[in-house]
Structure 1
Amino acid sequence: MKKTWLLGFGFFSISIGWSLYNGFVPFFLDHYLTSTALIGFLMTIDNYIALFLQPYIGNRSDRTNTRFGRRMPYLLIGMPIAALFFTLIPFHTSLATLIILMVCMNLSMAIFRSPTIALMPDITPDTKRTKANGVINFMGGCGAILAFTLGSYLYSVEESLPFLVVSAVFLVALFVIFTNIKENRDAIPYSMTTSPKIDYKRELNSTTVFLLAAIFFWFIAIQGMEALFTLYGVNELGLSKSASAFSLAFFSLSFVLSSIPCGLLGAKFGKKKMILIGIIGLAFSFILLNWVESVFYLRAILLAGGMFWACININAYPFIVSTGSEQSFGTRTGLYYFASSLAAIISPPALGLLIDLFGFGILFYAAAVSMLLALACMLKVNNKETLSISPHKLNE
């Protein structure tokens, strides 16, 4: 668990970086653009890059073999470059330079994001991965909270200050991980694969396909809900902008506080059971939100919803890596981000279109339907296929 907490610094740095990027870069774009839709599109660059690059980087890290290990070279290259571009973003001189810096920052983040996450199953036995994922998500949540609290204060002092601090966090996190985690010493022994391409026939077994579909559908619900909730609160419930945003914080805070307990429960009762409980509970929460008339009940349901979301999200990543061999952790990490990134691209405009057609009242009904589709996919997951495949069997 000590190694997990240390590795959590990597997830902490990724989370604080993305949160600060998503929170403050739109202000820079707003200086040049009047179209909110165009600003929104430019802010999804990371999802498009993740869609195509994350599976490739993840698979390539599976096939990397250096004296530093499989994943560490990507951290050693990607994190300093990301720190550099985070430093440069607030010093842009035009829209063109800002977009170039944004693209370069996103590309550099893509270099080490999948390998950093894949380090967790590399150094953690299967029985402890849900606990470990709870820990790194807890640290990621703390990073997001710091980005919006301390980051907001620093931004009010000087616009470049939070970006400089995050750049320093990247370098400190890299130092902590590199000096404390030695892959050749700490990683669970594995058989090296030399296959130049992803063996989709082997990797995309029926369990993996249904699990990826479930991931896609529950992220459709979550991404759409988070992107459009503040507008829903203002237009449907009559809340002020600040009250609407503060209400959504109950969902996020509950998720952070539930991360470690949900990891422990997943290790004890099984990952699939916890995911199913989370899906059913979150679908029910979305349905209840349609009849809420008071802020108290709204926030109470969001508080419960955050716990159910933790049941899903904390157990999902360890579950998908358990559907393959130890040789494919990076590949499966990339596939996980492929499904979630595709949902992040599709969900806000798709649910936004439904709102244009039927009004804001459709938001949580649509989210509930998407969760029920995720439930249908999860019920198709065959537990017997989630056992790690023996490397000897793979070589037959």
Structure 2
Amino acid sequence: MRLGLRAMLAYSAGSVGAGAFYAFNNFVIPLLLSAMSAPDLLIGLLSSTRSIEGVVVQPAIGAWSDRLSTRLGRRRPFLLAAIPLSALFLFLAPFANTLVQVAVAIFLFSIFFNVAVDPYAALLPDITPADQRGTLSGLSNGIQLVSQVAFLIVVSIAAASGEVPLWTFALCGAILLASFAVTIRFVHEPRQLAERAAHLPLRAYLETLFRNGQALRYLGTIFVYQFGLSAVIPFLPLFITKDLGQPNEIAIALSALTLLVTAASAIAFGAAADRVGHRTVLGIGWAILAVAALGGTVIRFLPETIGVVVLAGIGNGAATVVKWPLLTLLIPAEETGIYAGLSAAADSVAIPLSVFVATELFLPTLGYRGVFAMLAINIVIALALFLAFVRVPRATAIRAPLAQ
């Protein structure tokens, strides 16, 4: 059954909260932790939405959500349980008195957010025909990125005095709760998928998983790409403030500009992917990002930084919008949860490893701009592997999910 605009907006409501969370985690937390004199390695680890425990937790959550059958469906129970817990620790974090206590709070609200966000991603192919997944992914990612921009604008105004206020923790938690409540209430899951997966023997389920060579090769290329990208995200605000000498509000404003361009690019490329193919769009996105990363290694002044930011936003929008829909074209409909978990597990290894390599090898010799060199190298490798080893069917050739 094809999805109407109302259903697409109901699903995308959760992206408003996810956007606020990503903006806070990736761009605001580094500034808060830097003000507390946290070391670069700790800033990089805590400012990433994925952490090492996700290697075990996320595939387990994904597999559980594939085989769960409840009145709410198989994905929404995880949203209902985990989002309020993530919000709770966001509300409690401002009361922490030491760096250790802040770190624990960040760790906990990130864990519970991740427990919810992978079933949320798996919900997209559950409710959407294959030839609409690029469109819905573009819409939801666009909304998520606009939400990030709006959140950062609020924070930028609040930080005009020179410090980021602690009430931004509570603001993020409140947006998270309200937006996911809409998705939980108004999105209806197809029962047939849950019933079919629940009756599939566990051994057959796992055998199907590990026989899917195309999907596993694709996850391998995503790991290489994420290894480079994850070094940039937490250190971009610090590059702007410390290497370029700009104030916090400029760092936040440039981050917001990146996200705004990414949002527009995601919406445009999401619709294009359903027509020209997800593989083509991903290749274009990675190529543009590689050029932007090379530019990042040589920029010295604010105007040229804005140009690189715009170029990076275009490439990132194309890459982001097809990353998950492309994987759904390579996997059985009954197993989207565990593949979402495996993708998250790859990120959970790539992100801390990337941060460690960046802080130990690139930052000491090249400063914060070294992360751009690291990104360029990894994108070139990932693109070569993707084009050589991953074959993607057209969305029109994939059987649509069962009607509700």
What secondary structure is seen at the aligned counterpart in 1 of 2:53?
A: helix
CA displacement 1:309-330 (0-9 Å, x = unmatched): 2111101100112111110111
Corresponding residue number in structure 2 for 1:215:
222
Q: Which residue type is aligned with residue 170 of structure 1? A: L
Q: Equivalent of 2:390, from 376, 381, 384?
A: 381
What secondary structure is seen at the aligned counterpart in 2 of 1:86?
A: helix
Q: Which residue type is aligned with residue 111 of structure 2? A: L
Of stretches 200-209 and 266-275 in structure 1, the one that deviates more from structure 2 is 200-209
Distance 1:254 1:383, change over 3 A: same
Corresponding residue number in structure 1 for 2:314:
307
User: What TM-score, normalized to structure 2?
Assistant: 0.83
> Do the aligned partners of 2:152 and 2:252 also contact (CA within 8 Å) in 1?
no
Corresponding residue number in structure 2 for 1:321:
328
Q: Which residue type is aligned with residue 216 of structure 2? A: V
Q: Which residue type is aligned with residue 91 of structure 2? A: T
Distance 1:37 1:336, change over 3 A: closer
Corresponding residue number in structure 1 for 2:95:
91
Q: Equivalent of 2:349, from 342, 363, 380?
A: 342
What 5-or-longer segments of structure 2 have no aligned partner? none
1:191 matched to 2:196: yes
> Do the aligned partners of 1:47 and 1:344 also contact (CA within 8 Å) in 2?
yes
Q: Which residue type is aligned with residue 114 of structure 1? A: D
Distance 1:48 1:15, change over 3 A: farther
CA distance in 2, matches of 1:362, 1:95: 27
1:371 matched to 2:386: no
Corresponding residue number in structure 1 for 2:148:
144
What secondary structure is seen at the aligned counterpart in 2 of 1:331?
A: helix
Larger RCO, structure (CA 8 Å, separation 6 or more): 2
Q: Equivalent of 2:176, from 143, 164, 170?
A: 170
CA positional deviation for 1:190:
7.0
Pairwise mapping of residues 1-396 of structure 1 onto structure 2 (< 5 A)? 1-23=5-27, 25=29, 35-44=39-48, 46-93=50-97, 97-151=101-155, 153=157, 159=165, 161-184=167-190, 191-193=196-198, 194-196=200-202, 199=206, 202-203=209-210, 205-232=212-239, 238-242=244-248, 246-292=253-299, 295-356=302-363, 358-360=365-367, 362-379=370-387, 380-384=389-393
CA displacement 1:230-279 (0-9 Å, x = unmatched): 5555676x553555665454432211121111100101100001111112
> Do the aligned partners of 2:290 and 2:380 also contact (CA within 8 Å) in 1?
yes
CA distance in 2, matches of 1:18, 1:226: 10
Of stretches 227-236 and 87-96 in structure 1, the one that deviates more from structure 2 is 227-236
CA displacement 1:274-295 (0-9 Å, x = unmatched): 1111122222332344455654
Distance 1:302 1:93, change over 3 A: closer
CA positional deviation for 1:145:
1.7
What secondary structure is seen at the aligned counterpart in 2 of 1:191?
A: helix
> Do the aligned partners of 1:223 and 1:348 also contact (CA within 8 Å) in 2?
yes
Q: Which residue type is aligned with residue 60 of structure 1? A: W
Corresponding residue number in structure 2 for 1:394:
none
CA distance in 2, matches of 1:67, 1:260: 33
Q: Which residue type is aligned with residue 88 of structure 2? A: L
CA displacement 1:23-56 (0-9 Å, x = unmatched): 5556776787654444544445842233331111
Distance 1:40 1:258, change over 3 A: closer
Percent identity for Structure 1 against Structure 2? 21
Distance 1:322 1:38, change over 3 A: same
CA positional deviation for 1:70:
0.6
What secondary structure is seen at the aligned counterpart in 1 of 2:70?
A: coil
User: What TM-score, normalized to structure 1?
Assistant: 0.85
> Do the aligned partners of 2:84 and 2:177 also contact (CA within 8 Å) in 1?
yes
CA distance in 1, matches of 2:298, 2:305: 9
CA distance in 2, matches of 1:149, 1:357: 32
Q: Which residue type is aligned with residue 381 of structure 1? A: V
CA distance in 1, matches of 2:89, 2:128: 32
Q: Which residue type is aligned with residue 392 of structure 2? A: N
Distance 1:14 1:384, change over 3 A: closer
> Do the aligned partners of 1:320 and 1:336 also contact (CA within 8 Å) in 2?
no
**Aligned residue pairs, count:** 389
CA positional deviation for 1:62:
0.2
Distance 1:200 1:98, change over 3 A: farther
Distance 1:281 1:225, change over 3 A: same
> Do the aligned partners of 1:45 and 1:103 also contact (CA within 8 Å) in 2?
no
> Do the aligned partners of 1:30 and 1:39 also contact (CA within 8 Å) in 2?
yes
CA distance in 1, matches of 2:164, 2:235: 29
Distance 1:45 1:159, change over 3 A: same
Distance 1:195 1:108, change over 3 A: farther
Of stretches 168-177 and 272-281 in structure 1, the one that deviates more from structure 2 is 168-177
> Do the aligned partners of 2:31 and 2:164 also contact (CA within 8 Å) in 1?
no
What secondary structure is seen at the aligned counterpart in 2 of 1:383?
A: coil
CA displacement 1:179-228 (0-9 Å, x = unmatched): 2112147x878722444476166345221122112212222222223333
What 5-or-longer segments of structure 1 have no aligned partner? 392-396
Distance 1:328 1:294, change over 3 A: same
Distance 1:179 1:27, change over 3 A: same
CA distance in 2, matches of 1:139, 1:331: 25
CA positional deviation for 1:103:
3.6
